[in-house]
Amino acid sequence: MSSHDSRATTQDKHALLEDLVDANHILFNEGVLDAFGHVSVRHPEAPERFLLARNMAPGLVTRDDILEFELDGTPADADGRKVYLERFIHGEIYRARPDVMAVVHSHSPSVVPFSAVASTPLRPMCHMSGFLGEGAPIFEIRDVAGSATDLLIRDAPLGEALAHSLGDNNVVLMRGHGATVTAPSLKQAVYRAVYVEVNARLQADALRLGPVEYLTAGEARSAMETTEGQVERPWQLWKQRARQAARAATLS
């Protein structure tokens, strides 16, 4: 690798790390994450690793809090810092899905009810959520770990089971727990995590009015291609809003 290529790679990684910090702050500021939940991105130079913050509230993450992990969940550079218990969600999805470049795990409040009501699947009802395809599957932890767990993905076998439930979908719900969202880029993962919450809220509202006319598989595909082709537009808005909120909190 030439010195020019090396500098470019370093710059790309630095930019991605900055984006990962912003992703944490955006997801907190948009009400998808609170003190819990996490977002990761596949390492740009080492696809068998991923980048994820240490164990902390997403809204407080800084560049220095980002760690590297092996796909088995082993931190490469924790230096004694605590790591997220559910890091296996990320590692096992990256292992199972080479196309996935970013993962968000949240307890998004409008989404959680759909994780516990299997008779009413979470399906795309507006064009902004075409990535839901024909609906989000539900991971049932009881099927692999019995009926006395804390519902958390505490180890690699549970992460592998979750990845299996995800299959080729972009979103998997976790019964009584939350959701995990995947995407081919970090910005798309943030977009999808925000609009999973929006779709769930709209779907619950629509169901109170009567039967819902959901997007067809073809409509979902076309809508996803169109809206996610403009992902930079909401990203810049959300980033500015999150940074303004952080500055206001510092000054208050």
Consecutive H or E run containing 196: helix 186-209
> pLDDT digits over 172-206, tens only?
999 999 999 999 999 999 999 999 999 999 999 99
The whole-number average pLDDT for the span 199-227 is 98
* Dihedral sign of CA atoms 243, 247, 250, 252 in order: negative
Strands (E), the chain: 38-42, 49-53, 66-70, 102-106, 138-139, 171-174, 178-183
Judged against a pLDDT cut of 70, whether residue 144 lies above it is answered with yes
pLDDT score recorded for residue 5:
54
Query: Given a cut of 60, is residue 8 above it in pLDDT?
Result: no
- Within 10 A of 201 (CB to CB), how many other CB atoms are there? 14
Stretch (H or E) spanning 162: helix 156-166
pLDDT of residue 12: 85
- Of 30, 86, 92, 197, the active-site residue reads 86
Question: What angle in degrees, to the nearest 10, is found between the helix axes of 3-29 and 186-209?
Answer: 20
Angstrom distance (rounded) from CA 152 to CA 180: 12
pLDDT over 60 at 51, yes or no: yes
**What's the confidence (pLDDT) of residue 231?**
98
Q: Per-residue pLDDT for 4 more than 80?
A: no
pLDDT digits 0-9 by tens, 67-85:
999 999 999 988 899 999 9
86 is catalytic: yes
pLDDT tens by residue, 112-129: 999 999 999 999 999 999
3-state secondary structure of 221: helix
Q: What is the pTM of this model?
A: 0.94
Mean pLDDT of 203-214: 98
Amino acid of residue 11? Q
Neighbours of 82 (CB within 10 A): 10
Q: Summarize pLDDT for 82-112 with one digit per residue, the tens.
A: 999 999 999 999 999 999 999 999 999 999 9
pLDDT at 142: 98
Domains of the chain: 92-242 (3.40.225.10)
Predicted confidence band at 251 (pLDDT cuts at 50, 70, 90)?
confident
pLDDT at 78: 85
Average pLDDT, the chain: 95
pLDDT at 11 over 80: no
Please give the Cα distance from 108 to 63 (Å, whole number).
24
pLDDT at position 77, please? 84
